[in-house]
Chain A
Amino acid sequence: MNHLFVIFILLLSACNHPHTVDKNYVSIFSRDQGDPSQRFPLYRIELPKGWTIETNHTSVSDTKLPLIECMYTDNTNTIRLTIHNFPYTSLNQRVPLEAQLNRWKQQFELLDSASVTQQSFAGFMGFHLYAEGVIKEENTCVSAWTLQLGPEHQKSLAKNTERNMQIRSDVTIKAIGSKELMERKQSEIYALARSFELLDPLPNP
């Protein structure tokens, strides 16, 4: 009988309970066309500990304005991570991914190194640029993503409705900061950017 009890305990010890971790999800609102009340929750990111956000509640019809700005501040330095989207009605309004990469590279007065890798997550695909150099006479590092939804998703969102326009927008995520701090926070920046996703699922193509 004692043996049976031991076997029973051993069997139960193999079971584990899935543990859950509290995640700090932050919703990001869409871009409006002049009236900020048109904005609706569109994306979501997972904010790492120690990061703060600055949400723009006014109109962001100008695509130069970010949808959200995440910041990490050290004693003296700050990393700014901004997320932009670029709604379009016709294909010729879209900025090619490569052009975006070139634009970022050209922002450096002196470019020490730049590496580009392919990226694909949460239904988006595109490139990640990691570049180091001098911007405004300071040693700066840029870690930036230029993304667009996969062609199958784009196809299923082909109808030109206001909602579809926002959902199918091309997206950029750009983190900029001092070289030293960016290197230290590289994995957090990567995790933050890769946690970016649409709030509502897309129809399965």
Chain B
Amino acid sequence: MNILTTNLFHFLGGVKFAITLITATAFLVIIGTLLESKNNSHLSAAAYIYDSPIFSALLWGFFINILFAALRRWPFKKRHIPFLITHWGLLMILGGMLVKHYYGTQGSMYLMEGSASDQLMVANTRAIHLEQRGIDSAVVTPLDRPQGTAMDLKFKVLKTFPNSSSRFETFIKDDYVVVNEIPPFPLDKPIHTQLDGMDWVLLGKKTEHIEKEFRQFYINHASIALTNDETTINLPLSEALSHPILFEDKIVHLSLNVEEDLDFSFKIIELSVNFGHQTAKISLLEREPFIYQSGDSLMGGIGIQLDVNATPSLLFLQNEHEDIFLFAIGPHGDIATKIYRPESLTSLYSYDQGFGGYSMQSTLSLPKHPRIFEQEIILNKLTEQLKDPSIKVNELTPPLQLLQQACLQVNLSFAEIVVDYLKTWADQGGWLFTKNQKSLNTNLTSVFQAINWTLIPSNVFKGCIWASEMINRIENHAATSKEVLKILNTYQWPFIKKLEDHPFSNKKSFILDSLNQYLFAAAEELPFVNGLDHKDPLSNAFIFSAYCRAYHIHLAHILENLSVNQEIFELNLECPLTTKFKIERLLDKIEDNTPLVLMEIQKGSIKERIALRYDRNAQGMKWPIFGGRYLIRFQPHMMSLPYEVHIRRAKQLSYPNSSQPHKFESDLFVKNKQTNEVVETTISMNQVHETHEGYRLYLASLTPNDESNVKRVQLVVNHDPGKYCLLYPGAIILVIGMLTLLLQYKRIPG
């Protein structure tokens, strides 16, 4: 027995055991390194190697080997001192490592600027966070056993899944559309209901073709009205789109344009009207100030007005990725859209801080009045501005001064005549006022009959006549900017090259405007035109429009600078927020796995089951249980630190004259809870704060890195209790031991 003990003692303190340990450790470290590099996961290497019992046993083996190697020298002599010092140092270092392994702390703190906490989130642990309604403090209970109790609840883990994913469910849940205050209704079956005092049609659908479904729905629920001064045609949109419409003696072509953006949201939904040679577009997503706008807005309207009406509807469409597209169609055909993606929430409403559950809220804004109503408001506003008595005659532009004189002569309101003329002109379309007898009402006829051209310089009048006649001839033969340029080329217009090279050469209004300016500038050199009837109101209104254009007076110019507060009605929709879990394959990189637990929670005799997904940062939502009496979350375990950390400020420092960050730092107050001593410090990526007890605080991350929101800081806290009493002294002793060994060998001759 004695021999066996002696042999064992010698083996444990011997070189063979040391070599075995070193080989085994080297082997495990190689595997650990390969594992870490293969999965790009430190956690995998730690879980399988460094935190494994085998690795702990090896550390203990080293401790025993070094201890016994020293004890084998018993009885100690003077020459053993360097050897013993070296081994003492090694034992202290190993002791320090073992103390850290069993009693060390490592975790994270997530703090918002301005707040303080002493709660450390221990990484890679599992716990249940519970809150009771009416009680401020929360309880975090470790989930290291399948059953436990917390507060007055018993919980049992029924099943654990190592990896899972989750998605938010909003308005469409399984095969139903769920909107608060309306009973859930099945997909594919439209219902009629009242929302905010208006009758609505609601329909939900699952489809891979969102745009097609929406287009079809809109076409089936909208109608159009085509009008000019004399005729009105009302048609269902489906009919208007299916074939050309004969309006008076011209053909109207209508199309519905829908364009998606890169993120699959809808950037354009518009009705395009082709009348004669001109096209007007009416945006259904966002109203524009001038409603009957042609492609070239400064040209005015197209001679026909189009308005849209629709059955107020809500269309919920879900695609294959479970994104929900909500379309709200207003009574005047306007459309508001929203997209809800299952991986991110646009707005969240928590009832009673989460105890009452969560909901998704959405506000859709739609114009209250028909398009024509808003234009009338703008025109009234313009009339009021022109009626302002403080406006002096000489403050008006020359064409308006001329018109004002004519109005005074026939005793008609100048403001109303201006607006009437501009509106009539804009509705006609065309760059100049059209010589159409129907266009002039009695008032306009009287005013333009009374217009006195002798009040303006004769050269200017010549300019008006030449510009109106020439541009009218060109307009009659050229529908597009290209055709205008072609005519000017034929006439060998001197500045044609300049016009052709201009970036706006594709805009007809720009070319005609340039031509107008040239003609007015060169009017002095042009011959006088005889044989004009200066008392013909229609002819005067036509010539006057060229004069107005020379001063950029046209309704389109004015409306660009006049805004009106659009009256809208807001439709507030809300739906309960739920999550849908999916069990996923276990990934090699442990950090990427998110476990899911199925739990049974019991309060008295009542049992409730809930599935909870691991919230790694303990920052997400807490879910209500037992009718909202409790909140629960599956998260890492929390431990109290002996310090309270107050994040005063967190900032990103950028390079001078650049937004590129070069440093992140955070100002802290660290308060010792026992002594109430407060230390003011600043930490950054490379500047760690260490407390007297050896708690080290590192700045791990800072979000957002701009000034758009309150910053959230992640601190990593590390505590090694054996560092100052074992590890560092051990290292010094080891160095001293090695130096004394070196000196001892030097003294031995040879």
Contacts and interface: CB of A to CB of B under 8 A. Distances in A.
Partners in one complex: yes
Interface of A: 4, 18, 20, 117-125, 149-150, 152-153, 155, 158, 194, 197-198, 201-205
A202 B110 CA distance: 14
A147 to B, nearest CB: 11
Interface stretch (B321-329, B596-604, B702-710): B702-710
A152 B112 contact: yes
Contact of A204 (B115, B680, B711, B739): B115
Given A152-B710, A153-B710, A197-B649, A123 B113 contact: yes
**How extensive is the interface on chain B, given as a class?**
20 to 34
Given A158-B353, A205-B115, 20 more contacts: A117-B707, A119-B707, A120-B708, A121-B649, A121-B651, A123-B113, A123-B115, A124-B710, A125-B707, A125-B708, A149-B710, A150-B112, A150-B709, A150-B710, A155-B353, A197-B649, A201-B115, A203-B117, A204-B110, A204-B111
A149 B739 CA distance: 60
A149 B115 CA distance: 11
Q: What 8 A-B pairs are tightest by C-beta distance, nearest first?
A: A123-B114, A150-B710, A201-B116, A204-B117, A201-B646, A204-B115, A120-B707, A118-B707
A4 B115 CA distance: 48
B648 interface: yes
Contacts of A149: 114, 710
A4 B711 CA distance: 48
Contact of B114 (A118, A153, A158, A194): A153
Contacts of B110: 204
A204 B116 contact: yes
Contacts of B644: 201
A205 B618 CA distance: 11
B114 A198 contact: yes
Contacts of B649: 121-122, 194, 197
B115 A153 contact: yes
Contacts of B283: none
B539 interface: no
B472 interface: no
Contacts of A18: 681
Interface of B: 110-117, 119, 353, 644, 646, 648-649, 651, 669, 680-681, 706-711, 739
A156 to B, nearest CB: 8
B114 A122 contact: yes
A124 B114 contact: yes
Contacts of B114: 122-124, 149-150, 153, 197-198, 201-202
Given A197-B648, A197-B649, A121 B113 contact: yes
B745 to A, nearest CB: 15
Nearest to B712: A152
Contacts of B115: 123, 153, 201-205
Given A155-B353, A197-B649, A201-B646, A122 B113 contact: yes
A201 B649 CA distance: 11
29 contacts: A18-B681, A120-B113, A120-B711, A121-B651, A121-B707, A123-B112, A123-B113, A124-B114, A125-B708, A149-B710, A150-B113, A150-B114, A153-B114, A153-B115, A153-B710, A155-B353, A158-B353, A197-B114, A201-B114, A201-B116, A202-B116, A203-B116, A203-B117, A204-B111, A204-B115, A204-B116, A204-B117, A204-B119, A205-B115
Given A201-B116, A203-B115, A204-B117, A122 B709 contact: no
A203 B64 CA distance: 49
Contacts of B651: 121
A150 B648 CA distance: 14
Given A197-B648, A201-B646, A204-B119, A125 B112 contact: no
A123 B707 contact: no
Of the candidates B113, B353, B681, the one having the most CB atoms from chain A within 10 angstroms of its own CB is B113
Nearest to A203: B115
A118 to B, nearest CB: 4
A155 to B, nearest CB: 7
Given A123-B114, A197-B114, A205-B115, A118 B708 contact: yes
Contacts of B708: 118, 120, 125
Nearest to A23: B680
Contact of B709 (A125, A158, A202): A125
**Which of A150, A153, A158, A198 counts the most B-chain CB atoms under 10 A from its CB?**
A150
B710 A125 contact: yes
A197 B668 CA distance: 12
Contacts of B709: 120, 125, 150
A89 B320 CA distance: 46
A123 B710 contact: yes
A3 to B, nearest CB: 12
Nearest to A118: B707
Contacts of B116: 201-204
Contacts of B739: 4
A204 B707 contact: no
A121 B706 CA distance: 11
Contacts of B353: 155, 158
Contacts of A118: 706-708
A57 to B, nearest CB: 27
A118 B119 CA distance: 31
Nearest to B743: A1
Given A122-B649, A155-B353, A197-B648, A204 B112 contact: yes
B331 to A, nearest CB: 30
B535 to A, nearest CB: 50
A152 B353 CA distance: 11
B479 to A, nearest CB: 46
Contacts of A203: 115-117
A169 B669 CA distance: 23
B595 to A, nearest CB: 25
A20 B680 CA distance: 9
Nearest to A202: B115
Nearest to B650: A121
Contacts of B707: 117-121, 125
Contacts of A158: 353
Contacts of A20: 680
Contacts of B681: 18
A150 B115 CA distance: 11
Q: Select the residue from A152, A197, A204 with max chain B CB neighbours within 10 A.
A: A204
Contacts of B669: 201
Nearest to B708: A118
B478 to A, nearest CB: 46
Most buried by B among A117, A120, A152, A205: A120
Nearest to B682: A18
A121 B648 CA distance: 8
Contacts of B646: 201
A202 B114 CA distance: 6
B746 to A, nearest CB: 11
